[in-house]
Amino acid sequence: MIENQSSRIALITGGSSGIGFAIAKKLEQEGLKVIVADIAKPQSIPQGIVFKTCNVSVGNDINELYAWTVKNFGHPEYLILNAGRGIQEKLTEGDPEKWKEILDTNLLGALRTIRAFTPNMLSKKKGNVVFISSVAANQPHPYGGVYAASKTALEVIAETLRLETLPHINVTVISPGIVDTAFFKHQVSGHNTVEQMGMGAIDPDEIAEDVWYALNKKQGTSINKIITRPTLQNF
């Protein structure tokens, strides 16, 4: 294990850009040792952030991430499950292989990471898991069925984890509305944009502040869900 490291370690999946990178920077600024696990390296990395290549949809990548993290830094106390992709396809016309890609990343990726990293939290009777969901959860809408289903399932997993690990692990769901990131540009399919939606967008740093707020409640108090969206957003 590396010497002179921070005793407070956070691991963020999908942390190379957008909301995930905003969270990584916030936690690093607050003195945590931050590990970013993603398929692509950030363009620039603050000194307190470490990058590890990882595709959460691949089981062996998660196993390797866990072994590497524990060997070099120790067990994270904070787990931020942010990795995810969007898709806009009609259910009667879309590509099931693309749907599988979404579910492998948005849902199974989170499950794999939970399975690897939370047992140690339970053994220590201490830990925080944050799920980055979406206001799309529980909101059926045309062309958004697969994405909404993935986020709905993710929130069910979050609540199940909370119940199964009481009272030792704090579980929080953060459900952002429209955020000013490249999310729509990087969808598996679909052509929506923030401008086309016409309801404004919030800065990813606001979601990072939500995460920090949730992580810092006094012992015995948990923030289980936060919804943050532009004031004009109607869903």
For 147-191, write each residue's pLDDT tens digit: 999 999 999 999 999 999 999 999 999 999 999 998 888 889 887
- Is 235 a member of any domain? no
Residue 73 located in a structural domain = yes
Q: Model confidence over 114-157: pLDDT tens digits?
A: 999 999 999 999 999 999 999 999 999 999 999 999 999 999 99
pLDDT, tens only, 185-222:
888 988 788 888 889 999 999 999 999 999 999 989 99
Q: What is the CATH number of the domain that holds 168?
A: 3.40.50.720
pLDDT of 168: 96
CA-only gyration radius of the chain, Å: 17
Residue 105 lies in a domain: yes
The pLDDT tens digits for 76-98 are 999 999 999 999 999 999 999 99
Reduced DSSP (H G I as helix, E B as strand, rest coil) percent helix, strand, coil of the chain, to 5: 40, 15, 45
pLDDT of 41 higher than 50: yes
Give the per-residue pLDDT at 1: 35
Specify the pLDDT at position 5: 45
CA distance 118 to 80: 12
233 belongs to a structural domain: no
Distance CA 208, CA 15 (A): 11
Q: What's the total number of domains in the chain? A: 1
Contact between 111 and 132 (Cβ < 8 Å) = no
Domain span at residue 34 reads 9-228
Is the residue at 3 inside a domain?
Answer: no
2 pLDDT band, cuts 50/70/90, is very low
- pTM: predicted TM-score of the whole model, two decimal places: 0.94
User: What does the block give as tokens for 210?
Assistant: 């939500």
pLDDT level of residue 3 (50, 70, 90 thresholds): very low
Rounded (5°) CA angle 141-133-69: 145
